[in-house]
Chain A
Amino acid sequence: EAGVTQSPTHLIKTRGQQATLRCSPISGHTSVYWYQQALGLGLQFLLWYDEGEERNRGNFPPRFSGRQFPNYSSELNVNALELEDSALYLCASSLEAGDSYGYTFGSGTRLTVV
């Protein structure tokens, strides 16, 4: 069974640009979660999508947005990039919405803003 896949693996952008990150969940999983892992800060919850709808978002500005497609894959968009947006962005999926028994994470997209 394929795990959670994320693309691209690495992304380098200039301050002010937009970045688009993609995630494909495990087959059959309908919930997708996005986390930011910045150096020294641990994983910070960004967004939760389920059945195509945004269910909740963390304490991040509106320039962090995303969507979930009918096939349950998801996209995270970060507009007006700032240097502090440099981090590992992790996507996770779960079989049940808001699953409390642990996620399956992808390997992440390393975003570097210069």
Chain B
Amino acid sequence: QKEVEQDPGPLSVPEGAIVSLNCTYSNSAFQYFMWYRQYSRKGPELLMYTYSSGNKEDGRFTAQVDKSSKYISLFIRDSQPSDSATYLCAMSPSGTYKYIFGTGTRLKVLA
């Protein structure tokens, strides 16, 4: 079993839909949770990070962490075709740097 599991997709949604992207993990030591967006032929760019449990909102994006269920989510409201990309979750234990990445979910937002 991988430490971090992420559905590879692709996930296709119509423009304007609410998108839910998810990761599950097995290591209870993870404290830092991040979401990256990666466009084709580009490196990942940091979208959101959260520490421990709870929600964090930034514009159309909301990151949610449920440590009791070992489950994190990224919600995208009013999705746009420009949101079409691969979304990677990443996690790190407290006080360390070594991120464990999910394999990424490909998202397609159809105009």
**Interface positions of A (Cβ within 8 A of B):** 4, 33, 35, 40-45, 48, 56, 58, 90, 92, 94, 97-108
Contact A100 B97 (CB under 8 A): yes
Task: Pick the contact of B46: A33, A104, A107 (CB < 8 A).
Answer: A104
Given contacts A41-B103, A43-B101, contact A90 B92 (CB under 8 A): no
Contact B92 A100 (CB under 8 A): yes
Chain B's interface size range is 20 to 34
Number of A-B contacts (CB under 8 A): 59
Which of B32, B95, B103 has its CB near the most chain A CB atoms (within 10 A)? B103
In the complex, 25 of the A-B residue pairs with CB atoms within 8 angstroms, ordered by the A residue number, are A4-B43, A35-B101, A40-B103, A42-B4, A42-B101, A42-B102, A42-B103, A43-B44, A43-B90, A43-B99, A48-B97, A56-B98, A90-B43, A90-B44, A94-B97, A97-B97, A99-B97, A100-B32, A100-B92, A101-B49, A102-B36, A102-B46, A105-B44, A107-B42, A108-B42
The complex places the Cα of A108 from the Cα of B40 at a distance, in Å, of 11
Given contacts A45-B98, A45-B99, A100-B96, contact A106 B43 (CB under 8 A): yes
Given contacts A40-B103, A42-B104, A43-B101, contact A105 B43 (CB under 8 A): yes
The complex places the Cα of A102 from the Cα of B36 at a distance, in Å, of 9
B91 to chain A, nearest CB (A): 11
- B7 is an interface residue with CB less than 8 A from chain A: no
Contacts of A97 in B (CB 8 A): 97
CB closest residue in chain A, given B96: A98
Contacts of A105 in B (CB 8 A): 36, 43-45
Contacts of A99 in B (CB 8 A): 97
Task: Pick the contact of B88: A42, A44, A45, A101 (CB < 8 A).
Answer: A42
Shortest 4 CB-CB contacts between residues of A and residues of B: A98-B97, A105-B43, A42-B103, A102-B46
- Contacts A33-B97, A100-B97, A105-B45 known; list 20 others, CB within 8 Å: A35-B101, A40-B103, A42-B88, A43-B44, A44-B101, A45-B98, A48-B98, A56-B98, A92-B43, A94-B97, A97-B97, A101-B49, A102-B34, A102-B49, A103-B46, A105-B36, A105-B43, A105-B44, A107-B43, A108-B43
